[in-house]
Every structure is written in C-alpha cells, then in structure tokens.
C-alpha cells in the first residue's frame, strides 16, 4: 500500500495512492470532518465499483501536500465518490484519474512521485505509513483513523504497539486523562472513557461560534487558547482581538473599556496580565481569616459600618458583628431606661 499525508481544509488526512483504481474515493466520515459538500443528486454512473455503497460525489477539492523541499503544494482532485465503506471512511483514495491529471512519473526506489509542474512528493510504502494524530478531531473520529491505520498495517486492535500509537497521537489533555484512567486497560475501554468525558464541544468549535470564554482561567491561559484556535481558523489579528475581548470575564471586560482602542492585541494581553496580578494581590483581603482580624480592629475604632460597602463578602462578615451590639440614641428611650435603672446598650 502506498500512502502519503495531506491536508484538506487544514485537517490532516491519510491518502492512499492506487493507480489501479479507476476513480477517486473518499470516506463519508472524513468528508464531513473537513466540511466537504456531498452532491447526492449527480447522474454520474458507476460500474466497476458497484460493490461500494456510494452516497454521492464531490466535484472538486483542493488538497495540500508536503513536497520534498518542505513546501505545501496545492493540488486539485476532481470527481471524488463518497462511500461509507468502513475501511475507507477515514481516508482519501487517489486513483487513475488523479494520476493522469497530476502525475508525471512515479519513482519507487526513491519513494517519490513527480507532479506535472516538476514538484517531487514523498510517499510511504508498506509499514512506513504515518501514524494519525488527533489534532482538533474528536476522540471518536481519531479512533476511526486509528482503525484504518491498523487495517493498513494488518494488525489487531489489541496490539500494544497500536495502543502506544493511539496514545502518542492524542491531544495533551486526553493523554493526561488516559494516564489517570489507566493506560493498561483495553483500547476500547480507553476510547469509551474519553468519549464519555469529552461530549461537550471542543475549544475550536466554541471559538468559531464565539462561545469560547475565559471563565476561571488566567488571561495568559485564555489568550493561549484564543491564539491557538485563531491560527487553526486562519483569523487575522483584528478578528482574533474581537474574539479575545468577547470571551473575557466581566471584570476584565470592564477593564477593557478603560483601555485605549489603538492598543495591539499583545499590548492588551500584557495589560490584562498586570491587572490579573494586581487583583491577585487584592484577593488576600477576601480570606475570611484575615477579614476577622481586620473587622475586629474596625469595630474597636467604630469604623465597621463603612466595611459593608466594600464587597459582598465584607458585607456578610461585617453585618453580624454590627448586629451583635446595637445602641439606641433616642433621648426619650434613654430617659425611660434611666427611670428603670437600666443603663447601657442593648445587646442583640
């Protein structure tokens, strides 16, 4: 089997080169992942691949292939049939039509094929098939690619090396989760566990819909996410700035209104980091243990009332102290108390 790695809409896809096939084929799963539009109304007739369940056709796509000199080469593929055949659902098969339209020669000893414009592309033969990487895919889609990889190498899913390959290709967070869950468990158990804990949308999906928020993360952590998602989405700095500001915490959004509008994104982030550090220093006064000491001295100094207006925590801590000792200053009330030989404040 001859394969090479390419990208479609910035998603890594495994390509199988088959000059004996009289058409180009792509799996339904990978077509949906990369966002290709399937035309199921085409009148194209298919004879020699009738054993495949053909769902439709994709008229043309651009694939990005890494050339021998390290540059990304854009190549067009036309008339791609879409199938849901399990062993092909996560791959793109380039057949004879693609070779006729794009390839000048194939050099098997050097494992290169030369395109019509003279660009040399490296390919892999046999067991040197590149292992899939999860990237921005869901665990389920990534596991489908692992299955295809296993079929290509003629190995079983119980193979320990395959489990290692699966682990190495996972995202960083999923690697941590596998270690916590137990690497020695069966691969299917690990996949099921990862699917259970990752049912929510990914960061890139949230980002594209404007739903990626800072939450409890620091500005630096949040910006790192925004920057990564922005690069994957191909956004310029202006759009990146918009989505960054949109997802900030309410406190940081208030701070944003005080900032100059001509600041670059990096300058804004630096300003927010300083603001975060300042807030961390202020937050020591939100510790109940320290508050008790502070409020005790304020009570002695008869300045406790103003503490009610600092914030909600200070209010809840100050109010019980104030209500422990209530003094009435009404003259009639004090005179009445004196007649009853009762003096002093009223304790609550």
Region(s) of the chain under CATH 1.10.1200: 203-276
Instruction: Check residue 343 and give its pLDDT.
Output: 43
Q: What distance in Å separates the CA atoms of residue 144 and residue 147, rounded to the nearest whole number?
A: 5
Segment 318-334 mean pLDDT: 65
Q: Which residue has the higher pLDDT, 57 or 299?
A: 57
Instruction: Look at residue 259 and tell me whether its pLDDT is greater than 70.
Output: no
Torsion of Cα atoms, 171 then 177 then 179 then 180, to 10° = 170
Region(s) of the chain under CATH 2.40.70.10: 2-128
Going by C-alpha positions, the residue among 264, 207, 262 that lies closest to residue 241 is 264
Instruction: Check residue 201 and give its pLDDT.
Output: 57
Q: What distance in Å separates the CA atoms of residue 105 and residue 204, rounded to the nearest whole number?
A: 39
Instruction: Check residue 46 and give its pLDDT.
Output: 47
∠93-14-71 over CA atoms, to 5°?
Answer: 110
Phi, psi dihedral angles at 66 (to 5 degrees): -80, 120
The two tokens of residue 295 are 């409020």
Q: What distance in Å separates the CA atoms of residue 114 and residue 108, rounded to the nearest whole number?
A: 11
- 125 beta partners: 2
* Residues whose CB falls within 8 Å of the CB of residue 208, separated by 6 or more in sequence, listed in order: 229, 233
Question: In the CATH scheme, what architecture does the domain 203-276 have?
Answer: Orthogonal Bundle (1.10)
Instruction: Look at residue 281 and tell me whether its pLDDT is greater than 60.
Output: no
The per-residue pLDDT of the chain, averaged, comes to 76
Instruction: Look at residue 326 and tell me whether its pLDDT is greater than 80.
Output: no
Segment 260-274 mean pLDDT: 69
Q: What is the pLDDT of residues 55-108, one digit of tens each?
A: 888 988 989 888 888 888 889 998 888 888 776 777 888 888 888 888 878 887
Highest mean pLDDT among 94-103, 192-201, 244-253: 94-103
pTM: 0.39
Q: Which residue has the higher pLDDT, 221 or 341?
A: 221
Of the listed ranges 60-64, 184-188, 284-288, the least confidently predicted one is: 284-288
What confidence tier does 171 reach under pLDDT thresholds 50, 70, 90?
confident
Residue with tokens 């194209």: 44
> Which CATH superfamily includes the segment(s) 2-128?
Acid Proteases (2.40.70.10)
Q: Which residue has the higher pLDDT, 277 or 109?
A: 109
Q: What distance in Å separates the CA atoms of residue 100 and residue 95, rounded to the nearest whole number?
A: 9
Instruction: Check residue 227 and give its pLDDT.
Output: 83
Instruction: Look at residue 334 and tell me whether its pLDDT is greater than 60.
Output: no
Cβ proximity of 343 and 337 under 8 Å: yes
Instruction: Check residue 47 and give its pLDDT.
Output: 44
Cβ proximity of 145 and 129 under 8 Å: no
Q: What is the pLDDT of residues 114-158, one digit of tens each?
A: 888 888 888 776 655 667 888 777 888 888 888 877 876 768 888
Q: Which residue has the higher pLDDT, 292 or 182?
A: 182
Instruction: Check residue 233 and give its pLDDT.
Output: 73
């Amino acid at each position: 089997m001859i394969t090479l790695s390419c990208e479609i809409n910035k998603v890594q896809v495994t390509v199988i080169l088959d000059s004996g096939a009289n058409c180009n084929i792509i799996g339904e799963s990978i077509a949906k992942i990369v966002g290709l539009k399937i035309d199921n109304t085409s009148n194209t007739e298919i004879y020699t691949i009738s054993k495949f369940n053909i769902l439709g056709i994709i008229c043309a796509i651009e694939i990005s292939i890494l050339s021998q000199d390290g540059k990304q080469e854009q190549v067009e593929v036309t008339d791609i049939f879409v199938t849901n055949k399990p062993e092909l659902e996560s791959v793109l098969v380039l057949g004879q039509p693609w070779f006729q339209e794009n390839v000048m020669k194939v050099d098997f000893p050097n494992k290169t094929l030369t395109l019509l414009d003279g660009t040399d592309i490296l390919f892999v033969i046999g067991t040197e098939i590149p292992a899939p990487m999860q990237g921005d895919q869901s665990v389920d889609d990534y596991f489908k690619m692992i299955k295809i990889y296993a079929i290509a190498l003629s190995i079983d899913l119980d193979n320990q090396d395959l489990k290692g390959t699966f682990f190495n290709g996972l995202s960083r967070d999923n690697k941590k989760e596998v270690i916590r869950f137990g690497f020695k468990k069966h691969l299917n158990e690990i996949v099921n566990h990862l699917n259970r804990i990752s049912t929510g949308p990914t960061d890139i999906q949230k980002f594209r819909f404007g739903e990626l928020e800072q939450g409890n993360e620091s500005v630096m952590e949040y910006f790192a996410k925004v920057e990564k998602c922005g690069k994957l989405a191909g956004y310029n700095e202006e759009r990146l700035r918009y989505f960054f500001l949109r997802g900030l915490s309410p406190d940081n959004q208030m701070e944003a209104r005080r900032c100059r509008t001509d600041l670059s994104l990096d300058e804004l982030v630096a300003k927010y980091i300083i603001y975060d550090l300042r807030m961390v220093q202020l937050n020591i006064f939100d510790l109940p243990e320290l508050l008790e000491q502070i409020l005790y001295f304020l009570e002695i100094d008869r300045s406790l009332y103003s503490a009610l207006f600092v914030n909600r925590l200070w209010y809840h801590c100050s109010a019980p102290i104030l209500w422990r000792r209530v003094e009435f200053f009404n003259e009639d009330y004090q005179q009445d108390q004196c007649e009853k030989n009762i003096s002093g404040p009223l304790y609550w």
